[in-house]
């Protein structure tokens, strides 16, 4: 039997360099192979634009940066028994050859912390690390760097159907609402269904201006002017969608315009949630390649599984999107359905799966009245599942505990 060819023809952006990728490099250095593997695993949820490499220090120089042609943007240095020689090698580097550094130590004597400060370390973390601790600090440093570069410094989450009718628009709208509700996080929900977008109706909004006009004028817009194109929900969520009386064809939009619009949105907002149409073209592939997280929505059915498997394969092979950036969401989940979650994992060869329970009554009430599910039924299982999804894509579940150097600084400041 002949092997069936992949049915998607993916056209990648050719005129655009991926500004979001390869702009922030991290070097993890240690004398322990186990420590290198554990530290790299702890950073698995870093955004797409972060390049992480490891360097095993054996005999020879204690300086983890010795002989490198290009210095990384951040050094994570796990010191061990030879901590004094290792830290002194950093201290001996000229000021103009030092880079932001985080020190992880299997031991934490006061001398090691003092030498770390002398070497210019941004923070000091004794082992064992708390869950999410290193990820939080590294993500903050990454965002600071992007902000200085003027590039896309907001988190970008894409939500799309594996098969039409899976419920991606409902998930995207309520995910964005959960992210924005009751927090200081500034969130924009972007509807990239340029012809039949309906997200504004899910929130009972009637935008007078929208994405078509914003794209047409993007060259002349600043953050203040762009705000006039965003519809505002009472929760604080902002929505950029199609205008009811305007039709925009995909070939009328260039990927350069879209990325410029996203950069402008990212200057004043921390999170962009994009409802992406189920198609593979230059626009969608550009957005997918820049996404920090792709939420792929499907239901428990053979046809859904087939399309999801094909789409995930396109992301892996054609767009080089790693598995940790893909989150599968099973919408309208029913534990008594013939296809179980384990069978979905096996069919998709993918482990990261989250279930949104079936709740026909509350979903209908939400859609008919244009009220988010959190306001319709805050304590319902579907709202709790959407909250878990929002925490996963935002990193809100990470422990916000400063390292020892951060604590020392706070003590000196009297905080």
Tens-digit pLDDT profile for residues 192-217: 987 777 788 899 998 888 888 888 88
Residues whose CB is less than 8 angstroms from the CB of residue 378 and which lie 6 or more positions away in sequence, other chains included:
none
CA distance 37 to 323: 17
Architecture of domain 24-149: 3-Layer(aba) Sandwich (3.40)
**CATH for the 155-394 domain, from 3.40.50.2000, 3.30.70.870, 3.40.50.2300, 3.40.50.300:** 3.40.50.300
Domain pair 24-149 / 155-394, same fold: yes
Domain residue spans of the chain: 24-149, 155-394
Q: Check residue 351 and give its pLDDT.
A: 87
- 42-53: average pLDDT: 83
Cβ contact 301:339 at 8 Å: yes
Nearest to 158 by CA among 349, 332, 319: 319
Q: Check residue 297 and give its pLDDT.
A: 97
Most confident of 133-137, 281-285, 311-315: 311-315
Assess whether pLDDT exceeds 90 at residue 98: no
Starting at the edge strand found earlier in the chain, the sheet holding 326-333 runs 231-232, 238-240, 187-191, 271-275, 155-161, 293-298, 326-333, 353-357
Q: Check residue 275 and give its pLDDT.
A: 95
Q: Which residue has the higher pLDDT, 57 or 10?
A: 57
**pLDDT range class, residue 409, cuts 50, 70, 90:** very low
Question: What is the pTM assigned to this prediction?
Answer: 0.66
**pLDDT range class, residue 406, cuts 50, 70, 90:** low
Q: Which residue has the higher pLDDT, 394 or 414?
A: 394
Q: How far is CA 271 from the centre of its chain?
A: 9
């Amino acid at each position: 039997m002949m092997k069936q060819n992949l049915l998607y023809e993916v056209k990648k952006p050719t005129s655009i360099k991926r500004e979001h990728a390869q702009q922030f490099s991290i070097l993890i250095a240690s004398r322990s192979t186990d420590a290198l593997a554990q530290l790299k695993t702890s950073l698995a949820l870093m955004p797409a634009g972060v390049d992480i490499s490891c360097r095993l220090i054996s005999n020879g120089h204690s300086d983890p940066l010795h002989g490198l042609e290009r210095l990384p943007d951040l050094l994570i240095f796990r010191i061990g028994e030879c901590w004094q020689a290792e830290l002194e090698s950093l201290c001996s580097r000229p000021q103009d050859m030092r880079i932001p550094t985080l020190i992880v130590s299997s031991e934490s004597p006061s001398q090691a912390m003092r030498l770390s400060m002398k070497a210019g370390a941004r923070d000091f973390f004794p082992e064992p690390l708390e869950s999410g601790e290193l990820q939080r600090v590294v993500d903050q440093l990454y965002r600071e760097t992007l902000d200085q570069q003027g590039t896309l410094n907001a988190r970008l989450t894409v939500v799309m159907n594996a098969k039409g009718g899976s419920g991606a628009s409902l998930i995207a709208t309520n995910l964005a609402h959960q992210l924005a509700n009751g927090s200081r996080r500034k969130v924009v929900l972007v509807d990239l269904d340029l012809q039949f977008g309906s997200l504004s109706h899910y929130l009972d909004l009637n935008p007078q201006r929208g994405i078509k006009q914003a794209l047409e004028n993007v060259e002349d817009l600043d953050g203040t002017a762009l705000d006039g194109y965003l519809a505002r929900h009472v929760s604080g969520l902002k929505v950029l969608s199609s205008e009811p009386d305007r039709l925009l064809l995909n070939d009328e939009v260039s990927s350069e315009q879209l990325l410029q619009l996203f950069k402008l949105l990212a200057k004043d907002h921390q999170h962009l949630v994009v409802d992406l149409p189920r198609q593979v073209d230059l626009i969608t592939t550009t957005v997918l390649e820049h996404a920090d997280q792709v939420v792929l929505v499907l239901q428990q059915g053979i046809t859904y599984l087939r399309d999801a498997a094909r789409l995930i394969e396109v992301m892996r092979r054609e767009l080089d999107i790693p598995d940790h950036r893909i989150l599968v969401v099973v919408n309208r989940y029913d534990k008594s359905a013939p296809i179980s979650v384990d069978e979905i994992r096996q069919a998709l060869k993918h482990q990261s799966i989250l279930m949104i329970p079936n709740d026909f009554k509350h979903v209908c009430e939400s859609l008919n009245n244009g009220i988010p599910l959190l306001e319709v039924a805050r304590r319902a299982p579907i709202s709790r599942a959407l909250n878990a999804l929002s925490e996963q894509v935002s990193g809100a579940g990470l422990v916000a505990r400063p390292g020892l150097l951060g604590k020392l600084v706070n003590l000196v400041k009297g905080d």
